Structure 1
Amino acid sequence: MTAIARLKPCLRWAILGGTLFFLGTVLKQHWQKVLAIRLESTGLACLAIALGMTLLAHICAGGVWSRLLQDFRQPVQGVWLVQAYLKTTIAKYLPGNVWHYYGRITAATKAGATLETATVSVLLEPLLMAAAALLIALMGSQPIAAQYGLPVLMLQWLSLLVVLASVHPRIINPLVRYLGKLKQKATKAPSSMSFDLKDYPLVPLLGEVGFLLLRSAGFLFTFLALSPVLPSQLPLLVSAFSVSWLLGLVVPGAPGGIGVFEATAIALLGQTFSPGLLLSVVALYRLVSILAEVAGAGLSWLDERL
Structure 2
Amino acid sequence: MRPISNWQRLIGPLVGFISVGFLLTTLWRHGHQVLELAPDQQGWALLLFGVAATVAAQWFNGLAWWALLNWLRSPLPLIEVLLLFMRTNIYKYLPGGIWHQAGRLRWLKQRGVGARRALLAVLLDPLLMLLAALCLLPLGGLQGGLGLLSPFALLLLRPRWLNPLLERLLLSKRALLNLSGEVESDELKQDQALLSSPWAALLLQFPFLLLRFGGFACCIVCFSSINSLGIGLWLAAFALAWLVGLVVPGAPGGIGVFELVLLARLHGSLPEAELLAVVISYRLISVVAELLTAAAAQLDQPIAIRSQ
Question: Matched residue of 2:96: which SS?
Answer: coil
1:34 equivalenced with 2:34 (yes/no): yes
Alignment RMSD, CA only?
2.9
Residues 116 and 228 from structure 1, CA distance in 2 versus in 1: closer, same or farther, beyond 3 angstroms? same
Name the structure 1 match of 2:23: 23
Match of 1:223 among 220, 223, 226: 220
* 1:193-230 Cα distance to aligned partner (Å, 9 max, x none): 76564422111111112211111111001221223321
What is the alpha-carbon distance in structure 2 between the residues aligned to residue 128 and residue 2 of structure 1? 26
Whether 1:64 aligns to 2:58 is no
Q: Contact 1:81/1:107 (CA < 8 Å) preserved in 2?
A: no
Q: Deviations over 1:125-152 (max 9, x none)?
A: 111111111111222234xx2xxxx2xx
1:27, 1:176 → 2: CA distance?
40
Instruction: Find the partner of 1:242 among 223, 232, 239.
Output: 239
In structure 1, what is the equivalent of residue 306 of structure 2?
none
Secondary structure of the equivalent of 1:200?
A: coil
TM-score, normalisation: structure 1? 0.86
SS of 2:97's equivalent?
Answer: coil
Are residues 126 and 41 of structure 1, via their aligned partners in 2, closer, same or farther at CA, if it must alter by over 3 Å?
Answer: same
Matched, 1:304 2:301: yes
Q: CA deviation at 1:25?
A: 2.9
Structure 1 stretches of at least 4 aligned residues deviating more than 4 Å after TM superposition = 1-4, 156-160, 171-180, 182-190, 192-196
| Stretches of structure 2 lacking an aligned partner (at least 5 in a row) | 304-308
- Does residue 1:212 correspond to 2:202, yes or no? no
SS of equivalent residue, structure 1 residue 76: coil
Does the 8 Å contact 2:116/2:183 carry over to 1? no
Q: Percent identity?
A: 34
What displacement does 1:190 show?
5.8
| TM-score, normalised via structure 2 length | 0.85
- The letter of the residue matching 2:12 is R
Change (3 A) 1:89 1:185: closer
Pair 1:186–1:107, CA change in 2 (3 A):
closer
Contact 1:88 1:297 in 2 (8 A): yes
Distance 1:174 1:258, change over 3 A: closer
Match of 1:103, as an amino acid? G
Offset from partner CA, 1:93-149 (integer Å, 9 cap, x none): 11110010011112222334222111101111111111111111222234xx2xxxx
The answer (yes or no) to whether the contact 1:117–1:176 under 8 Å persists in 2 is: no
Q: 1:54-89: per-residue Cα shift (whole Å, max 9, x none)? A: 111111011111111101221311221111111000
Q: Which amino acid is 2:94 matched to?
A: L
Superposition deviation, residue 259 in structure 1: 0.3
Query: Using a 3 Å threshold, how does the CA distance of structure 1 residues 204 and 75 change in structure 2: closer, same or farther?
Result: closer
CA displacement, residues 16-42 of structure 1 (integer Å, 9 cap, x when unaligned): 232133213322321110111121111
| Structure 2 counterpart of 1:118 | 118
2:159 corresponds in structure 1 to: 169
Gaps of 5+ in 1: none
Given the alignment of the two structures, is residue 282 of structure 1 paired with residue 279 of structure 2, yes or no? yes
Deviation track 1:233-273 (CA, whole Å, cap 9, x = no partner) reads 21111111100111110111101100000111111122222
Candidates 253, 256, 281, aligned match of 2:253? 256
- 8 Å CA contact 2:64–2:201 kept in 1: the answer is yes
**Secondary structure, aligned partner of 2:132:** helix
State the Cα distance separating 1:166 from its structure 2 match: 3.2
